[in-house]
Amino acid sequence: MTAITNAFNRLITEHDFQKISVEMIMKEASVSRSTFYRYFKDKYDVMNANYKNILDYYVAPERSSNYRDLCFHLFEYALDNLKMFKRALDSTGFNSFNNFIYEYSYQTALSITKDNRTGAGFTPAEELQVDVFCNGICAVYKNLVCQRYKIDASTAADALYEMMPESLKHYWWTASSPKHTKSSTSV
């Protein structure tokens, strides 16, 4: 699986997303068609797996102790890999990178809260707040990658954390949370 995502990452720094084919990814990764389809259903799936791996890596309590830390790491990673992220954000449709960032981030936030409230999850008001906040962070992420803002990752993370509703700031996974009993994937 890593060979395929790494191949995609190399290709997207050289080609627009629309021009990348599954055949190009297979050739770059030196894998067969059956190997590719064992792990991924299409090029969108590969692209989105990258973000999943990145978020899963940085959300671990040994790397981030709160949402501010997580935003910082995600923003710093994106700024260090601007070309890759800009081209990924050019994808369109239901499986677009932008849609995946929101959906996976939102589901991760729900998991963090559920784990910290012994399965209770968000109150309806908190669910609305996290929905708005995740949508906002995704928009900021895209604008940061497209360099709409002239701001560094730390300043952006501080500003977003300041805007986060107080009722959500205290939720975070601990090292003993169910999702973090296994070792995390590296990026």
pLDDT digits (tens, 9 = 90+) for 128-164: 888 898 898 889 889 999 989 889 999 999 999 998 8
The arithmetic mean of pLDDT across residues 40-44, rounded, is 96
Torsion of CA 73, 108, 168, 140, to 10 degrees: 50
**Burial tier of 74 (Cβ tally within 10 Å: 0-12, 13-18, 19+):** buried
Q: Is residue 143 part of a domain?
A: yes
Q: Is residue 14 part of a domain?
A: no
In the chain, the number of structural domains is: 1
When computed from its CA atoms, the radius of gyration of the chain, rounded to whole angstroms, is 17
Q: Give me the domain span that covers residue 136.
A: 43-180
Q: Is residue 27 part of a domain?
A: no
User: In the prediction, which pLDDT does 173 show?
Assistant: 59
- Supply the pTM of this predicted model: 0.83
Q: Is residue 26 part of a domain?
A: no
Q: Is residue 126 part of a domain?
A: yes
Q: Is residue 2 part of a domain?
A: no
In eight-state DSSP terms, residue 184 is P
